[in-house]
Structure 1
């Protein structure tokens, strides 16, 4: 018996649900295997994962040298990944395992069980004076704050208050490198890459846990 085109179409439609059935978790396992293989073969230059926090979903990205980017959702995670591909390497892949320790420390910080991060950092996204400021920010302890003017003096350029503000506003590693601990001289918040609500939340968390 010869099948007509309509018969063939009917058979294809009948088989379609079986053909597209995917075992639950299969794609996740395939992606993890791909990331592991890419990392093993030196083909993964930038790994990333998304973590849920009280200040929203944060993107964590790392190179072989260390954590290179922490991004708030309001920055646009897709845009951040595109920038990382342009500035660092297009070989980017989601790899939760590679960011496991960073994710654990972020969770401990937000739960009040960690007051300092102990992670290797890749500061290649900051250069010159901005990097100098970023390196100083790491020394502002949990529960403490400094003014933009105090930071400028600390890095040896008292007149560079505006430049300090720019460095904080473009900090590629917010939360981990605590630019939220820098305020205006009058005690007001100033700006923040994650938004003033997030900055307030971080300062309040540290005031309670300190």
Structure 2
């Protein structure tokens, strides 16, 4: 994850929030000139039905216009558009810069989220236990679950790819978004046609 040396507190930033209409419903992205702060999945509608050849699209609405979105929010929108249209391509795209304190430093939550985004690619899953091992503390399975709950930028940091050791998908968004987690995992299995 990219970090800036001049880490202003998010409360000191001039934040903008944009809304994206996605196949999952409305998504709000907040950020500033230094990077993306948060992504919220609002769950206002069930995921769109998708046929194998249907193209997914996101519609951006911003109160102050796209020209005032700033480069990092624009980069995030482009990444999300690619994710919803051709998920297999995002592994080749750089992630937007993150500007949230949870994602910087050496705390276990930050280490887990960094490990997840670096090592678990589109279409893959990892168990909570294996992610704890990968992050350097094999006994911290519950702490990995806590890190997933504190992830400020879902989709970009793919907490939906973390499943239980039994292979069950597990909880997403406190259990309210389990259907979205399943949709995301299925969406990521779509392969590029030759």
Provide the TM-score with structure 2 as the length reference. Answer: 0.70
Pick aligned residue for 2:140 from 127, 137, 160: 160
- 1:120 is the counterpart of 2:97: yes
* Cα 1:131/1:94, change in 2 over 3 Å: farther
* Equivalence for 1:174: 154
* Equivalence for 1:16: none
Task: For 1:59-70, list aligned pairs within 5 A.
Answer: 59-70=28-39
Pick aligned residue for 1:134 from 105, 113, 125: 113
Contact 2:24 2:43 in 1 (8 A): no
5+ residue gaps in structure 1?
A: 1-42, 76-92
Pick aligned residue for 1:199 from 162, 165, 181: 181
Contact 1:65 1:122 in 2 (8 A): yes
Kindly state the Cα deviation for residue 142 of structure 1 after the two structures are TM-superposed: 1.0
Q: What number of residue pairs does the alignment pair up?
A: 151
Kindly state the Cα deviation for residue 129 of structure 1 after the two structures are TM-superposed: 1.3
5+ residue gaps in structure 2?
A: 1-11, 45-62
* Equivalence for 2:165: 185
Kindly state the Cα deviation for residue 203 of structure 1 after the two structures are TM-superposed: 0.5
* Equivalence for 1:31: none
Q: Distance in 2 between matches of 1:199 and 1:45?
A: 32
Kindly state the Cα deviation for residue 104 of structure 1 after the two structures are TM-superposed: 2.0
Q: Which has the larger radius of gyration?
A: 1
Kindly state the Cα deviation for residue 199 of structure 1 after the two structures are TM-superposed: 0.6
- 1:56 is the counterpart of 2:33: no
Q: Distance in 2 between matches of 1:47 and 1:102?
A: 13
Query: Root-mean-square deviation (CA), in Å?
Result: 2.3
Kindly state the Cα deviation for residue 65 of structure 1 after the two structures are TM-superposed: 2.2
Q: Distance in 2 between matches of 1:48 and 1:94?
A: 9
* Equivalence for 1:151: 131
Larger fraction in helix: 1
Q: Distance in 2 between matches of 1:45 and 1:108?
A: 26
* Over 4 Å off, 4+ runs: none
- 1:111 is the counterpart of 2:71: no
Q: Distance in 2 between matches of 1:115 and 1:209?
A: 13
* Equivalence for 1:85: none
Kindly state the Cα deviation for residue 63 of structure 1 after the two structures are TM-superposed: 2.5
Contact 1:148 1:164 in 2 (8 A): yes
